[in-house]
Amino acid sequence: MTVSRRVLLFAPLATIPLLAGPAAAAQRETDVSRVFVFLDNFLRMSPSERSIVKVSFYLTQNGKPPRGVKAWIIDKDGTRTDVPIAADGRFEREPTLRQLVEKSKMVFEGEDKSGFSVRIGLVWGVRPALEMDARQVADGIDEANAIVKKAAGRFGLVAPKMVQMAFPGAGSGTAIMAGGATAPLPLFKGSPAFNPDAMSGATRLRFARTPWRMEFAGPKHSGVVFG
C-alpha cells in the first residue's frame, strides 16, 4: 500500500498504513523511507532548526504499541542495523540520511494480522522546567509550525498547524496572568496543555511536577502516543 504523505501532513496523529495485509506473516520488508516519512527533510535542516523540533517515530498496531515485534535495517551492501522498539512503540534508532536516500530496506518480524502503522511525534527541544515563560512557549509553537511547513516541502500548504503545547508528566498546570490572576491549564490527552490563543494573557506556566517532555499538538491530536 502506498504511503499517503498528504494524509500524514493533514493531521499530526494521522495513522500511516504500513505493510497491511489480511494474513499474518513472519516477516515484512519495505523501503526505510516509507517508514520514516519526511525524516530526510528534517535531517537536511540546520542544526539550530533540528534543536527546536525533535522528531520521533512510533510503530502502532490497532492504535496501540505492538508487542513482540523486531525490526532492522538492511543496507545495499547487506549491512544489518537493529532498530530497537520501546514499550511505547518508539523507534529507538532512526536511519541516517544516507540510508534514506539509498532506500535501504527495513524488515519487521512478528505477527501482523492487522498490519502496522507509523505515527510521528514532535517534541520541543527546550529543557522542561517546573515553571515556564508563556511567551517562550508560544514562540516555540510558531517556530515549530515554520519548521514543519519547511519539512513538508511541496506539501507545505496542507502541513498540520500546531496550536498548543502538551506537558506529559506534569500532572497539572496553572497559567499565571499579567495581573496576577491564575487559571488551570486544560488537560489534553491526560496532560496539561497551553494554547496561547486561548490564554493570551498568560505570562508564566507553573506545573505540579517538572514535565517529562513538551509535545507540539494540533487542536485535537498530537503526533505521539500518550501513556
Considering the domain architecture, whether residues 38 and 143 belong to the same structural domain is answered as no
DSSP 158: G
227 occurs within a structural domain: no
Phi-psi region of 48 (alpha: psi -120 to 50; beta: other; left: phi over 0): alpha
Residue 182, domain member (yes or no): yes
The one-letter code for the residue type at 133 is: D
What is the rounded CA–CA span in Å between residue 116 and residue 29? Answer: 12
* 9/111 same-domain check: yes
Q: Pick the closest to residue 31 from 66, 3, 5 (CA basis).
A: 3
- Contact between 201 and 145 (Cβ < 8 Å): no
pLDDT of residue 161: 83
Q: 76, 92, 122: which is the final residue of a domain?
A: 122
Do the beta carbons of residue 64 and residue 116 sit within 8 Å?
no
- The CA distances from residue 57 to 22, 152, 202, in Å, are 24, 16, 32
Gap between the Cα atoms of 222 and 13, Å rounded:
5
First to last CA, the chain: 29
Distance (Å, whole) CA 89 – CA 191:
19
Q: Are residues 84 and 27 in the same domain?
A: yes
- How many CB atoms are closer than 10 A to CB 167? 27
Q: Say how far apart CA 40 and CA 36 lie, in whole Å.
A: 8
Q: Would 138 be classed as within a structural domain?
A: yes
Q: Which helix (H) or strand (E) holds 43?
A: helix 39-43
Among 60, 89, 122, give the residue marking a domain's end.
122
**Lookup: cell for 28:** 515484512
Let me know whether 152 and 95 are in one domain: no
Range of the domain at 66: 5-122
Kindly state whether residues 44 and 153 are assigned to the same domain.
Answer: no
Domain count, the chain: 2
One digit per residue, the tens of pLDDT, for the chain of length 227 reads 222 333 333 333 334 455 544 444 568 889 999 899 889 988 999 998 888 988 889 888 877 888 889 999 999 999 999 999 998 889 999 999 999 999 999 999 887 666 778 888 889 999 999 999 999 999 999 999 998 888 877 655 556 788 999 999 999 999 999 989 999 999 998 899 999 999 999 999 999 999 999 999 887 654 433 22
Residues 164 and 104 in one domain: no
The verdict on 109 and 139 lying in the same domain is: no
The three cell numbers locating residue 212? 517529562
User: pTM of the full predicted structure?
Assistant: 0.72
pLDDT on residue 112? 62
Alpha carbons 131 and 208: distance in angstroms, whole number = 9
Separation between Cα atoms, residue 12 and residue 1, nearest integer Å: 20
